Amino acid sequence: MDCRVRSQPFVCVTTDFVESDLEWERREYEAANIIYRTNQLKTAKSAQLVAATRDADVLVVDQAQIGREVVAELSSCRLILRHGDGYDNLDIEAATEAGIVCANEPGFWSREVAEQALALALSLTLKLPIQQTVAREGSTRGWNYEKVTPYWTLGSRTAGIIGFGRTGTFACKLFSPLALRVLVHDPSASKTAIKEAGGVFVGREELLEASDIVSIHIPANPDTIGLFNSALIGKMKRGAILINVSRGSIVDTEALYEALLRGQLSGAGLDVTNPEPLPQGHPLFSVPNVIITPHMGWYSEDALWKLRRQIVADVCAVRDGKLPLSVINPEVLKSDHRRLNPG
C-alpha cells in the first residue's frame, strides 16, 4: 500500500465497526504515520460522537448516525467514509455545506446480497420454515403435511426485481436460470442490460401484479422510504412473497405484518428490518413463513477483506491530497470552502 509517510499528524477515527477487531488496520495506519482510534458508538447520541471524533481528519462510519450536529463539530474533517454501500445514516447535505467530501465503498458484496435474496426466496417458496416446524412436531405426533402443502418449485414462479443496480443485476442473473421468468423494474436501467441479465423490463404496477416473488434492491432515500406501504403491498399478487435485502425503512413493518396475517402475502424474507434489530417478541417472529436474518446478506470473508483494504487505501489517498474511490457528493469539490483539494 502506497502511503507516503509525513511528519504532521493525520487522524483517522472509526465510529463503529462489524469486524472482530481492527488490528490489521491499526498496523497499516501506524506504518503510514496515521493516528488511528476506534470506537463502538453505533447507537451513540450526537454529544458522545462529537467527543470521540471532533479532531478527525477522516471519519470511518458503519452504522452510527452522523447528523448535522456532529458534522458541525468536525472542524478538521476532510472525508466521511461509509463502511459499505448505503449512506442513509450520513447527513450528506450538512457535510457538503461544511466542505467535507463523503464517500462510500459500493459493490464489494453485491453478489453476496443477491445470493441472500435468492436463498430467502427459495426457502420461502418451498416453505422451509414451516417444513422445519412439521419435522420437529412429527417426532411425537407424526408429520402433518397439511401444514406445509401446497407449494411449488421456483421454476414455476415469476420473480420480480425492484432496482437494477449492482445487487439487482446479480439477483436477476441468479434468479433467471431458476425461475419461470424474471421481471425487472428500474426506470434508469438499460433495457438491453436487463435482457442480457435474463430479465424483462416492465412497469412497477405490472411487476407487482404478476410476480410471485418480489425482491427489493433499491437504496433508502426520500423517494423510497416507506415505499412498500399498505397501498403498494396491496397491489402485489395475492399470495406473493416479499424479499427485502436493501434497507428496512423501505418497507412499512406494520403494513407487512397485516398483509401476512390476511393472506395478501404468503411469506417474507427480511435481511433488514425497521426498526433494526426488531425488539424481542415482535409479532413478525411468530408468523410461520417469515425468515428474518440479522443484516448479514452483505457478509463474506472475501468481500469484507476487499472492503477493509479499500478503506485503508482511501484514507491514505485523502491524507496525500487525493480523492477516495467513490465520492458521494462531487459537488463539494466545486465549493469555495472545500477542505480537500485534490491535485
- Among the options 37, 209, 276, 309, which is catalytic? 276
Q: For this structure, is 209 an active site residue?
A: no
High-pLDDT (> 70) share of the chain, %:
97
**Is pLDDT above 50 for 6?**
no
- Tens-digit pLDDT profile for residues 253-311: 999 999 999 999 999 999 999 999 999 999 999 999 999 999 999 999 999 999 999 99
pLDDT band at 7 (very low <50, low <70, confident <90, very high): low
Q: For this structure, is 295 an active site residue?
A: yes
- Among the options 247, 308, 319, 339, which is catalytic? 247
Between the CA of residue 292 and those of 36, 45, 149, 285, 333, what are the distances in Å? 35, 27, 22, 8, 41
Q: Is the peptide bond before 294 cis (omega within 30 degrees of 0)?
A: no
Close Cβ partners of 186 (under 8 Å, ≥ 6 residues apart): 162, 163, 164, 165, 168, 194, 201
Q: For this structure, is 205 an active site residue?
A: no
Is 25 exposed, middle or buried, given 0-12, 13-18 or 19+ CB atoms closer than 10 A? buried
- Tens-digit pLDDT profile for residues 116-147: 999 999 999 999 999 999 998 887 778 999 99
Gap between the Cα atoms of 192 and 199, Å rounded = 9
**Which three cell numbers mark 47?**
454529544
Q: Which domains does the chain have, with CATH numbers?
A: 11-108+300-334 (3.40.50.720), 110-292 (3.40.50.720)
- Among the options 78, 157, 166, 295, which is catalytic? 295
**Which three cell numbers mark 182?**
424474471
Total number of residues shown for the chain: 343
Gap between the Cα atoms of 214 and 70, Å rounded = 37
- Tens-digit pLDDT profile for residues 50-80: 999 999 999 999 999 999 999 999 999 999 9
Gap between the Cα atoms of 324 and 315, Å rounded = 7
